[in-house]
Amino acid sequence: MNESILKIENLSHRYSVQWAIRDINFEINKNGIYGLLGSNGAGKSTTMNIICGVLKQTEGSVSIKGIDMRKDPVQAKRHIGFLPQIPPLHPDLTVEEYLVHCANLRYVPKNDVNKAVDEVTVRCGISHFKKRLIRNLSGGYQQRLGIAQAIIHNPDFVVFDEPTNGLDPNQIVEIRHLIKEIAQERTVILSTHILTEVQATCDHIYMIEQGSLVFSGSVDEFDNYIEPNSLLLSLLANPGTEELRLIPGITGVEELGGSRYRLRFNDTPEIAERIVETSVAKGWRLNEINLEKSSMDSVFAELSKK
C-alpha cells in the first residue's frame, strides 16, 4: 500500500468554547488536484491552516508523508508548499532576491539554491523578470511568483488558497494551466469558493460545512449528488404543454421555445422510454432528449443545508 501523502484523523478545533471543525477524516494517497470547498465560516480555513502547520488543532492528527505535524512540525513542513490568498511577497526585492530568500527559509542546500531559483522561474514563466522589483510586476505575475515560492523546495504537497483571486480571464486560464502542470508531479489542494474553478481544475472534491465534512468524491459524483428530476426535450412537431402533461410520471412542463420543453418528473422509472414511446405513437417526431443535471450551485446549496 502506498504511503499517505496527507492523512487527517478525527480532526477537531475550537476557538474558546465554539467548535470550528469536528471529527474531520480523509486521506490522500496519490497526486492530483483536490478541491477544498466550503461557505464562509464553514471551517475550511481552519482546516487548511492546521494542515499547513499554521494552527495547532485541539484534537486529532494530521500526517504529511507519514510525519505527524504536531510531533515533528519542521520535518512535516519540509514536504509542504503554501500559497496564501495574499501572496507573502516583499515588494522592494527583485524576483531573484526574493526566491533566494525563500529557498534559504525552506532549507534548500546552499549549493542548490541558484539551480532551484532557475528551475521555478522557468516553470512559472517569470525567468525574464528575475532582475525586476516585485512591486513592478503585474497582478498575474505576482501570483506566478507566489506559486514559485510555494514550490521552490520541491515539496510533495502544495496548498493554494484562492490562487486566481483578482486575476483577469486570460490570467486565470494561465494559472489553471500552471497548477495542472504542477499537479502532475505532486499533490495539490485548491481551496476556493468559486465552483467553476473546481469544475475546471479539480479531480476530487472535499466539502466542509458547519465544521463537518459533508462531501468527499469526484467532480462527477458532486455533479450527480442531487438526483436529476428534469429532461430537456426537442420535438419537430409541437404537441403543446397539456398533451405532454398527460404522460404518466410527468409533474410539470416548461416551454423553452421552438418546440423545446423542460419536463419535470417524479421517481417513475424508465420515464425517458415512456416519452419516446408516446412520441412515436402520436407522431411528435422526437429530435432530442437529455437528462438535465443539477448545477454545481444547486449541489453546493443542498450540501450547505446539512
Both 215 and 293 in one domain: the answer is no
Both 188 and 245 in one domain: the answer is no
The 10s digit of each residue's pLDDT in 115-156 is 999 999 999 999 999 999 999 999 899 999 999 999 999 999
Both 164 and 293 in one domain: the answer is no
Which residue range is the domain that position 292 belongs to? 230-300
20 is written with which cell numbers? 470550528
Give the whole-number percent of the chain exceeding pLDDT 90: 55
219 close to 203: Cβ distance less than 8 angstroms? yes
Domain-embedded: residue 19:
yes
Per-residue pLDDT band at 296 (split at 50, 70, 90): low
CA–centroid distance for 219 within its chain? 9
Per-residue pLDDT band at 274 (split at 50, 70, 90): confident
The pLDDT assigned to 61 comes to 96
Domain-embedded: residue 278:
yes
The pLDDT assigned to 292 comes to 73
Domain-embedded: residue 1:
no
Both 108 and 198 in one domain: the answer is yes
Tallying the residues shown for the chain, one arrives at 306
Among 223, 257, 278, the domain boundary falls at 223
Highest mean pLDDT among 61-65, 216-220, 251-255: 61-65
Domain-embedded: residue 306:
no
The pLDDT assigned to 1 comes to 46
Helices within 168-268 (DSSP H only): 169-183, 195-201, 219-223, 241-245
Per-residue pLDDT band at 238 (split at 50, 70, 90): confident
Domain-embedded: residue 107:
yes
Both 136 and 195 in one domain: the answer is yes
**SS3 category, 266:** coil
Whether the model pTM is above 0.75? yes
> Mean pLDDT of all residues in the chain?
89
74 close to 230: Cβ distance less than 8 angstroms? no
203-227 average pLDDT score: 86
The pLDDT assigned to 264 comes to 85
d(CA 238, CA 235): 7
The pLDDT assigned to 268 comes to 62
Both 141 and 105 in one domain: the answer is yes
Rg (CA), the chain: 25
Please indicate whether residue 109 or residue 299 has the higher confidence score (pLDDT). 109
The pLDDT assigned to 227 comes to 65
Please indicate whether residue 264 or residue 144 has the higher confidence score (pLDDT). 144
Among 223, 241, 259, the domain boundary falls at 223
The CA-based dihedral angle spanning residues 163, 167, 168, 172, taken in that order and rounded to the nearest 10 degrees: -10
241-250 average pLDDT score: 88
Domain total of the chain: 2
The pLDDT assigned to 136 comes to 96
The 10s digit of each residue's pLDDT in 156-214 is 999 998 888 888 888 888 899 999 999 998 999 998 877 888 888 999 999 999 999 99
Residue type, 124: C
DSSP 8-state class, residue 90 = -
